[in-house]
């Protein structure tokens, strides 16, 4: 339940933290109930249903419920507790307030038992099942002591027979309600866990569908989708992208001399350094085997070549390879501008031809077409 207010008033009353706003909304709803209870006490004292002095005393006792919990939350002090919503303290306070009202308003005590039952249902929102059941037992004990005390000391007003009936009602109904609230809390927790597991599973499925297992880069299929989207966007904006096919030089030699595990390590290292050398807007994917594809949005070919020169200089340094200096490799690349209305296949064919030329003319170089 949320209170609709002007945006300025919303921010002033509840702040900007979304979770805190929800907690304060709920607390103010409870404060509204306490306000009605306070007005009811005042009215009961005025018409003689309750002793005026005791009614006014109860109104003062309700003040923490009216203002205290809200002020604690608005100040942020509640964030120091395990349960920032302060559910258990608020419910204990409400049960104690109802017990006090039970003493002050004998004609209304049957109705007050129903309010206690309502209070216990709030445990389903945040309390753990054990805490919810313990709260039900607490309510029975508090009300039982109040009924016993009043039936003993004021039997003319609190008829012992009626109090026994009330106690039986409380002893049977309140634990059942708290148990149901605990079961709802268990269901809520289970659903929350299932939701988190489903979200994680979807994230893993998305990663498997879009990422290369070995390098962590985008896979070929997802790269094709992103490239088509970028090309369509570029037609609207006017800034055409470039495509660059990159191939690690003599990669087969690495596998033959050092084994496939070493080859995998070369691919991972190359992918990491290549990703670090590219701009944030550039998209890097493993295209297949030792071949990579780079999409450079809104980029002229001469601008695109700068990123590959950075990568070439980085790979030439011993620090880039660390203890794996014996695995150091170079790369060849074929770069082309993706022309308007041109299919991706045609643009890739031109990039592939440029890559072939780079290999044929000595490798470790970039050729533009």
Q: Which two tokens stand for residue 313?
A: 């200089």
Which of 241, 265, 284 is closest to 327 using CA atoms? 265
**Which DSSP state fits 49?**
S
For 246, phi then psi, to 5°, come to -120, 135
Do the Cβ atoms of 335 and 352 come closer than 8 Å?
Answer: no
- DSSP H helices, 211-219, are none
Q: Which two tokens stand for residue 72?
A: 């604690």
Do the Cβ atoms of 75 and 67 come closer than 8 Å?
Answer: no
Q: How far is CA 39 from CA 45, 46, 129, in A?
A: 10, 11, 34
DSSP codes of every residue in 289-338:
TTEEEEEETT--HHHHHHHHHHHHHHHHSGGGTGGGGGG---EEEEEEE-
Catalytic residue of the set 163, 230, 290, 368: 290
Q: Is 290 a catalytic residue?
A: yes
Element (H, E) at 284: strand 283-288
Distance of CA 216 to the CA centre of its chain: 24
Q: Which two tokens stand for residue 335?
A: 């770069």
Most distant CA pair in the chain: distance in Å? 111
Q: Which two tokens stand for residue 357?
A: 């030329």
Residues with a known catalytic role = 290
């Amino acid at each position: 339940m949320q209170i609709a207010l002007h945006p300025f008033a919303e921010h002033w009353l509840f702040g900007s933290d979304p979770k805190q706003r929800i907690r304060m909304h709920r607390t103010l709803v409870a404060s509204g109930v306490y306000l009605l209870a306070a007005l009811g006490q005042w009215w009961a004292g005025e018409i003689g249903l309750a002793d005026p002095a005791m009614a006014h005393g109860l109104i003062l006792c309700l003040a923490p419920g009216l203002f205290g919990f809200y002020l604690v939350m608005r100040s942020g002090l509640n964030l120091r507790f395990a349960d920032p919503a302060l559910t258990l303290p608020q419910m204990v306070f409400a049960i104690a307030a109802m017990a006090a009202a039970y003493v002050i308003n004998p004609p209304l005590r049957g109705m007050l038992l129903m309010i206690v039952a309502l209070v216990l249902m709030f445990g389903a929102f945040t309390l753990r099942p054990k805490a919810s059941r313990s709260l039900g037992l607490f309510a029975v004990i508090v009300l039982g002591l109040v009924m016993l005390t009043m039936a003993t000391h004021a039997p003319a007003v609190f008829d012992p027979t009626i109090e026994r009936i009330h106690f039986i009602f409380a002893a049977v109904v309140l634990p059942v309600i708290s148990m149901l609230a605990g079961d709802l809390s268990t269901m809520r927790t289970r659903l929350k866990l299932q939701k988190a597991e489903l979200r994680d599973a979807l994230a893993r499925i998305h990663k498997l569908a879009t990422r290369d297992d070995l390098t962590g880069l985008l896979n070929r299929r997802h790269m094709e989708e992103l490239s088509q989207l970028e090309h369509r966007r570029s037609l609207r904006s006017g800034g055409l992208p470039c495509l660059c096919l990159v191939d690690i030089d003599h990669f087969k030699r690495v596998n033959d001399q050092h084994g496939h595990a070493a080859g995998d390590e070369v691919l991972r290292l190359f992918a990491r350094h290549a990703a670090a050398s590219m701009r944030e807007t550039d998209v890097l994917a493993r295209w297949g085997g030792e071949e990579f594809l780079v999409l450079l949005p809104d980029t002229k070919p001469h601008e695109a070549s700068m990123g590959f020169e950075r990568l070439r200089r980085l790979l030439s340094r011993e620090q880039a390879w660390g203890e794996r200096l014996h695995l150091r490799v170079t790369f060849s690349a074929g770069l082309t501008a993706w022309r308007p209305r041109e299919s991706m296949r045609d643009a890739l064919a031109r990039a592939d031809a440029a890559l072939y030329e780079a290999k044929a003319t000595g490798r470790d170089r970039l050729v533009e077409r």
